[in-house]
């Protein structure tokens, strides 16, 4: 009787034993950094300090961060560049995904080439675009002047730098959205289209009344994936402007980096990063609720 009983217990424990490595990995990789950032937020860190045992300062770091004008400006810049980029990436990505779903000669090669910007490292893409945006020798101003249009100041103007950075992000990540939409289109059933065409529907009507409504779930998932990544934007901005000019492109990630590694204020950096984590989780939660309720 004891042998079957032990086998039953082992069978029940088997799923937990199998997931245990991933649980340990998740705790070490995600849980511990978050706990330590929270610890730094309530302590005073200085270069050369020990790992633990830092002086407790209560809410001083939180108050100092929330009183910092640059912190709130960085929050606004993060939301602004994310909103601009995500809007155009979703609209253009959906449109291009529909175009790439057409069966024409050479479409498979075109899909591979179209996805190329998404696999380029952001640092490399940023360095290329810095050259394109150069006010004196950049290709973009050369094209504008060829058509007798005024040259742009791009990254050097506080008014235009956000839009210039958004163009880079849109160029790089619109193909990512398009590929997700393309996968969604290829998974759509044929029956609704056949029924619609038998009733005399045009292709435009099929697009707006069948394709797009059935793609809402796919588009929303693509938006969720991109919004989480977009709000954490760092490498492109750091390579192209380092937050300038005059902090006009300082996102929350750039702000946290500057406070932590340039000004050695780990408490303010930790507060900013936890605030950014809260923003990301809030937007993800709202998009998830929206998807469950309306899609």
Mean pLDDT of the 89-100 span: 94
For residue 158, what pLDDT band results from cuts at 50, 70 and 90? Answer: very high
Give pLDDT tens digits for 228-276: 899 989 999 999 999 989 999 999 999 999 999 999 999 999 999 999 9
What pLDDT is stored for residue 222 in this prediction? 92
CA distance 29 to 24: 8
DSSP reduced 3-state for 34:
helix
CA distance 123 to 127: 6
Q: Which helix (H) or strand (E) holds 90?
A: helix 69-100
Mean pLDDT of the 212-236 span: 91
Q: What global pTM score does this model have?
A: 0.87
Cα 167 → chain centroid? 14
Task: Find residue 43's DSSP bridge partners.
Answer: 56
Residue 1 pLDDT > 70, yes or no? no
**Percent of the chain clearing pLDDT 90 (strictly above):** 62
What pLDDT is stored for residue 144 in this prediction? 92
CA distance 44 to 84: 37
């Amino acid at each position: 009787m004891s042998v079957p009983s032990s086998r039953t217990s082992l069978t029940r424990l088997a799923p937990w034993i199998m997931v245990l490595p991933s649980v340990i990995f998740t705790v070490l990789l995600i849980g511990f950094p978050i706990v330590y950032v929270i610890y730094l937020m309530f302590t005073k860190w200085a270069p050369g300090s020990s790992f633990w045992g830092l002086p407790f300062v209560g809410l001083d770091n939180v108050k100092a961060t929330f009183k910092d004008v640059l912190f709130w400006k960085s929050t606004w810049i993060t939301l602004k560049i994310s909103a601009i980029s995500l809007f155009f990436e979703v609209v253009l990505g959906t449109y291009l995904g529909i175009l790439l779903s057409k069966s024409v000669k050479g479409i498979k090669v075109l899909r591979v080439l179209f996805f190329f910007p998404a696999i380029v490292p952001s640092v490399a893409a940023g360095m290329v675009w810095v050259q394109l945006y150069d006010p004196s020798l950049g290709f973009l101003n050369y094209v504008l002047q060829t058509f007798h249009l005024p040259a742009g100041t791009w990254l050097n103007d506080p008014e235009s730098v956000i839009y210039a950075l958004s163009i880079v992000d849109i160029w790089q990540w619109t193909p990512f959205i398009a590929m997700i939409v393309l996968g969604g289109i290829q998974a759509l059933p044929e029956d609704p289209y056949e029924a619609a065409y038998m009733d005399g529907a045009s292709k435009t009507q099929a697009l707006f009344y069948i394709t797009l409504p059935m793609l809402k779930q796919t588009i929303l998932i693509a938006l969720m994936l991109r919004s989480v990544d977009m709000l954490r934007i760092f490498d492109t901005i750091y390579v192209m402007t380092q937050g300038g000019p005059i902090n006009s492109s300082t996102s929350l990630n750039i702000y946290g980096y500057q406070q932590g590694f340039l000004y050695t204020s780990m408490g303010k950096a930790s507060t900013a990063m936890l605030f950014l984590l809260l923003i990301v989780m809030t937007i993800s939660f709202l998009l998830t609720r929206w998807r469950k309720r309306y899609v």
